[in-house]
Amino acid sequence: MIRVLVWNEFQHEKKKEKVAAIYPNGIHQTIADFLGKEEDIVVKTAWLDMETKDCGITQEMLDETDVLIWWGHAYHQYVPDEVAFMIRDAVLAGMGFIALHSAHHSKPFRYLLGTSCNLTWRESGDSELLWVVEPGHPITQGIDRYFRLPEVETYGEPFVIPTPDKLLFIGSYSGGEVFRSGCLFERGNGKIFYFQPGHESFPIFHDENVQTVIRNAVRFVAPTYRRMTKCPHIRKLGDERGYIIDEK
Amino acid sequence: MIRVLVWNEFQHEKKKEKVAAIYPNGIHQTIADFLGKEEDIVVKTAWLDMETKDCGITQEMLDETDVLIWWGHAYHQYVPDEVAFMIRDAVLAGMGFIALHSAHHSKPFRYLLGTSCNLTWRESGDSELLWVVEPGHPITQGIDRYFRLPEVETYGEPFVIPTPDKLLFIGSYSGGEVFRSGCLFERGNGKIFYFQPGHESFPIFHDENVQTVIRNAVRFVAPTYRRMTKCPHIRKLGDERGYIIDEK
Amino acid sequence: MIRVLVWNEFQHEKKKEKVAAIYPNGIHQTIADFLGKEEDIVVKTAWLDMETKDCGITQEMLDETDVLIWWGHAYHQYVPDEVAFMIRDAVLAGMGFIALHSAHHSKPFRYLLGTSCNLTWRESGDSELLWVVEPGHPITQGIDRYFRLPEVETYGEPFVIPTPDKLLFIGSYSGGEVFRSGCLFERGNGKIFYFQPGHESFPIFHDENVQTVIRNAVRFVAPTYRRMTKCPHIRKLGDERGYIIDEK
Amino acid sequence: MIRVLVWNEFQHEKKKEKVAAIYPNGIHQTIADFLGKEEDIVVKTAWLDMETKDCGITQEMLDETDVLIWWGHAYHQYVPDEVAFMIRDAVLAGMGFIALHSAHHSKPFRYLLGTSCNLTWRESGDSELLWVVEPGHPITQGIDRYFRLPEVETYGEPFVIPTPDKLLFIGSYSGGEVFRSGCLFERGNGKIFYFQPGHESFPIFHDENVQTVIRNAVRFVAPTYRRMTKCPHIRKLGDERGYIIDEK
């Protein structure tokens, strides 16, 4: 059973009518709904202004989470550094992390990758073709050569990230821009998937192909083994376990 | 002084009027002409049916070449395996290699990368926007955020190559396709640059931005040091502990 | 069920008493024996001079193989190029490939990676410590911080391979050399694992840790999806802008 | 002219007699001395408790620095986050960064890489053999197959870093451990080199081979171009199809 936690800023849905119409219970709930139908997945949700401290995320919750999905946009700075570091460390210990759309600028994503994660953007309702670069990868299964989203926010290169361990999708926008729309990173024992679609003003998380990719990604980044890598201070060579025996 | 050898199939130019009109002396000569203007570059050319054996390429020529530029399309199989392996070994020893357009299917490129190097394609005279992914890289200097080619052959993903060490350009075509149009690989002591533009039916090598990229690439893949890596068979350890004597 | 095919040169065992004493039925049989005990694995074997054509490997066999394990040393050139290319293409389509020890110089491995795969070596019966670089990786599960092999053939850097997608083990020899002893590559839809231990003169494949790594590797490189990537030639665009029709 | 800034914690030298005997004017001064002999290099130094604010580093100093060399060990937390982020951003804009020995745990290094950068260690005065993995790389020129340091602090795998873009050296210790002792990373427009040798208790920076590697590394990570990558917010498309106007 893969235990997924979907975190959402959950502000636009409460402040903008257009967004509320698309996601009446929040983006997190839409994602939780389609993931929750899977037999091998259980889902919880959290959001920025839950009546809990720490923006809805505690160490206890992370300890019970296999894959954390993150959607944030305009309130990244309200996530405390302590929480962002807790998440980073959980990923280094093996927890999967999926950053959606404007979460490219979220603290957990930036702290894990180290770069600015800046990108070029344009808000125009362009359509996007998402092309599969690696048709044999588990995350792209069930997707044809490409799929089309009729209205998106346009993201463009340069996207200031470390070279991804694997590039899975390239997005092509009707205005001509391109973007590395599906990127996989491995950090410590954890896997990180960045996926570009997800602007709040369009019903992107209702799209069947988007849901397929997220479902695949949850299964792919879920850890088989989860523990922080031990880097012991060896005091002497010798016969105690953990010490190193050199018999030569 | 960087010693460049430009190799061209040089068949379309002799068989198709349209191509001859664009490249009356062959694609190789157009490339040699703009590179030859540089003070730090000297250029030679070779082609498939030169009056020499081995498709115009000999070991002696490779020994005097710092960067080999390759354009081939319909006659890849006429390049003998022996010559392709000679080129591969020269690259492993440090010679730079630039594969242009349909040279993705050339023997030297495929033998160096190991994969099929297949790709999707469409001949329609689409326009292509080439977007810079790495604006700080030496090969993309002098190029704005993107440049446009009004008429090209469309290449599309999937492009069956190993993950490039560095992705420098992504192409976006007016028909909607995308392609990893500028890819850098390191193999042995050599650098390999693949660059997508260059269909013979359009005056692409007359384009100023294409020329800038090729000039930059020549300087980037040119070797500082050139020699085959030695992997000695060690017959015994020397008499001082930890020191290894190569007796070969 | 993972269908494994273990291929072995099977010459040293028939020609050298010392080797025959360790592997009376051949290295392939020892590997097949410990893998065959697993509930999710079925094993077949093949060798160079089986009474079949093509060094024991046919397309039909590859079609029924999920993971091909390869041990070869002194007779690489007796494997026909046609067979090596068949194997390469099966890997590009998703078949897993595990190259053991001196298979670094085997044709399938070299043709997949493109480089010389040369390395430095010394035959001295050194001991080797194999250190885990990635403790969270599925292939290193069940292995402590390192394990020790009392007698091995020493391999040393430089090892002329493309930078591995993931480095899993580094070997340290009692004579002082080091080697990238466990390397993972992805090519096309297939995964390739190179593992250094396995000199025929020592009972290395009887070692429990070596068996654990090979078992883990079989499960890791086994394909979830297997098919050659399609790269269609698109003849025309459909009538709706942005949609592409594959008429093939 | 490459402008190098060498930063050193400069505490052990003032507090421990043994260290003072080896580096009477500080590790930074020893490094500045051998680098300062090069015709193409000018060197400045800075240290933790200089009589300037911000641990000796200001934005003005970074603006005039091409390559920052960093040695820190026990006082990492005294470097303010603001300074560490300033350094990170300078690297993303192209400044070279060389982290020596225990600087694996320095804030600038960790913030750039995103992982814990933990490692295993043992203080025993082992000897270390540093083996060249990439003999064709500019940073390994002038180094034989390996070089030996008679006394070092032992570092061991696992080293919790992202997979390096290039692994240049592997260290082998007389106690049996191994370590990725020379690692290259590219982040944004900047290059980062981590080099393991440098324990304060041994005269490692007086070693000729260590000096060769650091000299080579300075020249390799020095930026050709230096500027922060621009990621403009595009407000509208221009009037010609496919052309994009940046109105910012």
Q: How far apart are CA A195 and CA A184, in angstroms?
A: 9
Find, among B112, D94, A53, B63, the residue nearest to C160 by Cα.
Answer: B112
Q: Name every chain D residue with its beta carbon within 8 A of the beta carbon of A92.
A: 115-116, 160
Distance, in angstroms, between D135 CA and closest chain B CA? 7
Amino acid at B187: R
| Confidence at residue B188, expressed as pLDDT on a 0 to 100 scale | 96
Distance, in angstroms, between D155 CA and closest chain C CA? 13
Interface test with B, best of D95, D134, D234 (most B CBs within 10 A): D134
Domain that holds residue A195: 2-221
Distance, in angstroms, between D231 CA and closest chain B CA? 9
Of B129, B156, B167, the CB nearest to A176: B129
Find, among A138, A164, A193, B109, the residue nearest to C189 by Cα.
Answer: A138
Amino acid at D186: E
A227 interfacial to chain C (CB closer than 8 Å): yes
Per-residue H/E/C for B57-109: CCHHHHHCCCEEEEECCCCHHHCCHHHHHHHHHHHHCCCEEEEEHHHHHCHHH
C156-186 per-residue burial string, b: 16 or more CB within 10 A, e: under 16: bbbbbbbbbbbbbbbbbbbbbbbbbbbbbbb
Across the interface, whether the CB atoms of A118 and D231 are under 8 A apart is answered yes
| Confidence at residue A241, expressed as pLDDT on a 0 to 100 scale | 38
Task: Indicate whether A125 belongs to any domain.
Answer: yes
Q: Based on the structure, what is the number of domains in chain A?
A: 1
Of C135, C166, C170, the CB nearest to D170: C170
CATH number for the domain including C203? 3.40.50.880
Of B165, B224, B242, the CB nearest to D174: B242
Which residue in this structure is represented by tokens 């000096």? D211
C163 interfacial to chain A (CB closer than 8 Å): no
Distance, in angstroms, between D217 CA and closest chain A CA? 20
pLDDT in tens, A17-26: 999 999 999 9
C141 interfacial to chain D (CB closer than 8 Å): no
Question: Is the bond preceding C108 in cis, omega lying within 30 degrees of 0?
Answer: no
Of D136, D186, D241, the CB nearest to B229: D136
Neighbours of A, requiring at least 3 CB pairs below 8 Å, are B, C, D
| Confidence at residue A238, expressed as pLDDT on a 0 to 100 scale | 53
Distance, in angstroms, between B128 CA and closest chain A CA? 9
| Confidence at residue B54, expressed as pLDDT on a 0 to 100 scale | 76
Across the interface, whether the CB atoms of D234 and A89 are under 8 A apart is answered no
For residue A222, pLDDT over 70 is answered with yes
Distance, in angstroms, between B179 CA and closest chain C CA? 12
Interface test with C, best of D147, D166, D178 (most C CBs within 10 A): D178
| Confidence at C50, pLDDT banded by 50, 70, 90 | confident
Q: How far apart are CA D229 and CA B145, in angstroms?
A: 10
| Confidence at residue B233, expressed as pLDDT on a 0 to 100 scale | 87
User: Computed over its alpha carbons, how large is the radius of gyration of chain B?
Assistant: 19
Query: pLDDT tens track of chain B, all 248 residues?
Result: 999 999 999 999 999 999 999 999 999 999 999 999 999 999 999 999 987 667 889 999 999 999 999 999 999 999 999 999 999 999 999 999 999 999 999 999 999 999 999 999 998 889 999 999 999 999 999 999 999 999 999 999 999 999 999 999 999 999 999 999 999 999 999 999 999 999 999 999 999 999 999 999 999 999 987 788 889 888 766 543 344 444 33
Task: Indicate whether A236 belongs to any domain.
Answer: no
Distance, in angstroms, between C24 CA and closest chain B CA? 29
Task: Indicate whether A12 belongs to any domain.
Answer: yes
Q: How far apart are CA A180 and CA B146, in angstroms?
A: 15
Neighbours of D, requiring at least 3 CB pairs below 8 Å, are A, B, C
Q: Name every chain D residue with its beta carbon within 8 A of the beta carbon of C172.
A: 172, 176-178
Rounded to 5 degrees, φ, ψ at A165 are -60, -30
Classify A12 as helix, strand or coil. helix
| Confidence at residue B53, expressed as pLDDT on a 0 to 100 scale | 66
% of chain B with per-residue pLDDT over 90: 85
Q: Name every chain B residue with its beta carbon within 8 A of the beta carbon of A180.
A: 133, 170
For C119, name the nearest residue in chain B, comparing CA atoms only.
B231
Strands of the sheet with D41-47, listed across from one edge: D41-47, D2-8, D67-71, D96-100, D190-195, D178-187, D166-173, D120-132, D146-156
Q: Name every chain A residue with its beta carbon within 8 A of the beta carbon of B127.
A: none
One-character DSSP codes across D116-152: ----EEEEEEEEEEEEES-TTSGGGTT--SEEEEEEE
Handedness of CA C153, C154, C158, C161 (dihedral sign): positive
Q: How far apart are CA A79 and CA A76, in angstroms?
A: 6
The ipTM estimated for the assembled molecules is 0.93
For residue C247, pLDDT over 60 is answered with no
| Confidence at residue A211, expressed as pLDDT on a 0 to 100 scale | 98
Q: How far apart are CA B128 and CA B68, in angstroms?
A: 26
Average pLDDT score over residue span C32-50: 96
| Confidence at residue B238, expressed as pLDDT on a 0 to 100 scale | 54
Task: Indicate whether A145 belongs to any domain.
Answer: yes
Find, among D159, D77, D84, D146, the residue nearest to D118 by Cα.
Answer: D159
pLDDT in tens, A113-134: 999 999 999 988 899 999 999 9
% of chain C with per-residue pLDDT over 90: 85
Q: What is the dihedral of CA B103, B107, B110, B116, to 10 degrees?
A: 90
Neighbours of B, requiring at least 3 CB pairs below 8 Å, are A, C, D
Given a cut of 70, the residues of chain D with pLDDT beneath it are 52-53, 236-248
Across the interface, whether the CB atoms of A248 and C146 are under 8 A apart is answered no
| Confidence at residue D245, expressed as pLDDT on a 0 to 100 scale | 40
| Partners of residue B4 on adjacent β-strands | B43, B67
For B159, name the nearest residue in chain A, comparing CA atoms only.
A133
Of C132, C157, C159, the CB nearest to D157: C132
Geometric angle at alpha carbon D177, from D174 and D182, rounded to 5°: 100
C148 interfacial to chain A (CB closer than 8 Å): yes
| Confidence at residue D8, expressed as pLDDT on a 0 to 100 scale | 97
| Partners of residue C3 on adjacent β-strands | C42
Q: How far apart are CA D166 and CA D219, in angstroms?
A: 16
| Confidence at A245, pLDDT banded by 50, 70, 90 | very low
% of chain C with per-residue pLDDT over 70: 94
**Between β-strands C67-71 and C96-100, what pairing exists: parallel, antiparallel or unpaired?**
parallel
Average pLDDT score over residue span A85-103: 97
For residue C30, pLDDT over 90 is answered with yes
| Confidence at C15, pLDDT banded by 50, 70, 90 | very high
Q: Name every chain D residue with its beta carbon within 8 A of the beta carbon of C182.
A: none
Angle, helix B27-36 to helix B208-221, in steps of 10 degrees? 70
For residue A138, pLDDT over 90 is answered with yes
